[in-house]
Structure 1
Amino acid sequence: MRALIQRVSAAKVDINDQTVSEIGPGVLILICAMQGDTEAEADKLAAKIAKLRIFKDDEGRMNRSLLDTGGSALIVSQFTLAADTSRGNRPGFSTAASPADGERLYEYFTSQVAAQGITTANGRFGADMAVSLTNDGPVTIWMDTA
């Protein structure tokens, strides 16, 4: 699985000009299931993100995790993270999981983040979403289980 994690002071998802999910301080996780991914990759990534020390401690150092801060996670499926831009000008997405597998693994990943004790909010798989965020830092981290 592939994820782009952004530390945020707030984030939200709108669909058809209606807010469907929003969080305060925490992380926005853009997530993509890749071909061949299983629940094992989702488990590994959820546990890693929950413990990722990207929040400031009392001395201003990135030394605290979502679990330490009580922050939330807004999780948005984004197959375009699988983009292959090595040829031509149009990205290819053939390395992304099929829509059925992608949705199943997205839902499973979200449940595993919640199982870590983190409050979660979601986008809507396959929807045309407007994602807004206030990136805190900015802190943006790329993670790949492969």
Structure 2
Amino acid sequence: MKVILQRAKDASVTVNEETIGRIDEGFVALVGVTHTDTEEDVDYLVNKIIHLRVFEDENEKMNVSLKDVGGAVLSISQFTLYGDCRKGRRPNFMQAAKPDMAKALYESLNNKLKDEGIHVETGAFGEMMDVSFTNTGPVTITLESADR
């Protein structure tokens, strides 16, 4: 699995001109699933997401986690994270998981974040979405479960 985390002071997702998810301080998480991912990948990423110290402490140092600040996550499914652009000019998405598998692991990640006490809002799996947010810092971190 790949997750692109972007620290946000506010974020929202809209489908068909209707806002379906909104958070204040926390992360926008773009989540991609590949065909070899398992629940172990989900567990690894949940642990990283909630404990990653990229929020500022009282000395303006990135030393505080999502859990510490009581932050939320706006989780967006993003199969294009597994786009391969090495050949030609059109990405191939052969490394992205099939929708049924991807949706199950994506939902597992969101549920396990909730089980850790994190407020999670989501987009709509498989839908065209408009995501708006203010990336503070800016801080953007790439997490890959294959790196564990």
| TM-score under structure 2 length normalisation | 0.97
Find the aligned partners of 2:41 and 2:90 in 1 and give their Cα distance.
Answer: 28
The alpha-carbon deviation at position 31 of structure 1 amounts to: 0.2
Find the aligned partners of 2:26 and 2:59 in 1 and give their Cα distance.
Answer: 19
Contact 1:47 1:116 in 2 (8 A): no
Code of the residue aligned with 1:98 in structure 2: it is K
Equivalenced residue count is 146
SS in 1 for 2:137: strand
Over the aligned positions, Cα root-mean-square deviation in angstroms equals 0.6
Aligned to 2:44: 44
Q: Deviations over 1:20-63 (max 9, x none)?
A: 00000100000011111011100110111100000000000000
The alpha-carbon deviation at position 117 of structure 1 amounts to: 1.3
The alpha-carbon deviation at position 18 of structure 1 amounts to: 0.6
Unmatched 5+ stretches in structure 1: none
Find the aligned partners of 1:7 and 1:22 in 2 and give their Cα distance.
Answer: 14
Find the aligned partners of 1:12 and 1:68 in 2 and give their Cα distance.
Answer: 22
The alpha-carbon deviation at position 70 of structure 1 amounts to: 0.2
1:1-146 correspondence runs (5 A)? 1-146=1-146
Unmatched 5+ stretches in structure 2: none
Contact 1:6 1:29 in 2 (8 A): yes
Find the aligned partners of 1:114 and 1:50 in 2 and give their Cα distance.
Answer: 11
SS in 2 for 1:132: strand
SS in 2 for 1:37: coil
| TM-score under structure 1 length normalisation | 0.98
